[in-house]
């Protein structure tokens, strides 16, 4: 693709590429980075790196900590969430979710991060009694209480969780998030949506980043996680292989 553009007389702006490189470096870091670290990692002088950082802060992509380090702003997270919506994950994953629902007889939901909340982007209802008529695509769920919110939080970076808390988000206890990351799934306690419980697992992209949470949702009266976790794990493994 790059060769085709160059052959047509159009070349990418190297200055822009070098500036965006700083976003990539910070996006891969689990903590804010200092000017000297970013300069060394990008192969640029401190003065040049500082100018690029100022540009990114002015554009709203970065912010500076009280200690003088640099970190991604919430704007970067919001753009990432929009990218997930535009990727149309709900449609791409629909057939896997439908097969899962037929297998277990319960409702399946796909959710992504949306600011300080979790947004449902796809829902496949079971044939039996609907779980909640008012829980539909577009519904916002809690990061703290919902199984999807807990999974998306547990499998995000420490820097991202810190950013969420700076924005006023209430997260699950660190010990619980650590447990979820270790066991690979989260269970809701029914406080986010009364009368309903769910179990969720993370969906990863090709680079190993958690991009969504797939959950099985049932009325609390028949919630049986031991019967749901196996089929849910198989469905997630299938989703992780999709491009």
pLDDT digits (tens, 9 = 90+) for 147-168: 999 999 999 888 788 878 877 8
List CB contacts of 108: < 8 A, sequence separation 6 or more: 97, 100, 101, 123, 124, 214, 215, 216, 217, 235
Residue 158: per-residue pLDDT: 84
Q: Domain check: are 94 and 151 in the same one?
A: yes
Indicate the helix (H) or strand (E) that contains 215. Answer: strand 210-219
Residue 237 has a CB neighbour count (10 Å cut-off) of 12
Q: What's the full length of the chain, in residues?
A: 243
Residue 133: per-residue pLDDT: 46
Residue where one domain finishes, among candidates 19, 37, 72: 72
For residue range 1-53, list pLDDT tens digits in order.
444 454 457 888 888 999 999 998 887 777 899 999 999 999 999 999 999 99
Q: Domain check: are 59 and 133 in the same one?
A: no
If we measure between CA atoms, which residue out of 72, 38, 43, 25 comes closest to residue 167? 72
Residue 184: per-residue pLDDT: 96
How far is CA 31 from its chain centroid? 17
Residue where one domain finishes, among candidates 72, 104, 122: 72
Residue 179: per-residue pLDDT: 96
Q: Residue 119 sits in which domain range? A: 79-241
Tell me if the pTM is above 0.85. Answer: no
Yes or no: say if 197 and 233 are a contact pair by the CB < 8 Å rule.
Answer: no
If we measure between CA atoms, which residue out of 72, 228, 225 comes closest to residue 163? 72
Yes or no: say if 93 and 122 are a contact pair by the CB < 8 Å rule.
Answer: yes
């Amino acid at each position: 693709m790059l060769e085709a553009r160059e052959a047509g007389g159009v070349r990418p702006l190297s200055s822009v590429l070098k500036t965006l490189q700083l976003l990539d470096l910070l996006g891969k870091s689990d903590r804010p980075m200092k000017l000297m670290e970013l300069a060394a990692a990008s192969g640029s002088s401190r003065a040049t790196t500082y100018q690029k950082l100022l540009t990114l802060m002015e554009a709203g992509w970065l912010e500076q900590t009280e200690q003088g380090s640099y970190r991604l702003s919430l704007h970067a997270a919001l753009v990432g969430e929009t990218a997930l919506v535009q990727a149309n994950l709900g449609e791409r994953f629909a057939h896997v979710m439908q097969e899962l629902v037929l297998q277990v007889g319960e409702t399946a939901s796909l959710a992504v991060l949306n600011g300080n909340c979790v947004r449902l982007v796809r829902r496949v209802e079971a044939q039996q009694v609907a779980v909640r008529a008012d829980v539909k695509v577009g519904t916002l769920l809690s990061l703290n209480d919902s199984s999807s919110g807990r999974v998306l939080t547990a499998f995000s970076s420490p820097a991202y969780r810190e950013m969420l808390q700076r924005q006023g988000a209430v997260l699950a206890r660190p010990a619980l998030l650590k447990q979820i990351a270790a066991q690979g799934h989260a269970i809701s306690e029914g406080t986010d949506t009364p009368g309903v419980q769910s179990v969720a697992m993370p969906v990863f992209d090709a680079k190993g980043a958690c991009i969504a949470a797939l959950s099985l949702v049932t009325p609390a009266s028949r919630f049986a996680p031991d019967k749901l976790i196996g089929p849910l794990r198989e469905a997630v493994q299938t989703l992780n292989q999709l491009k």
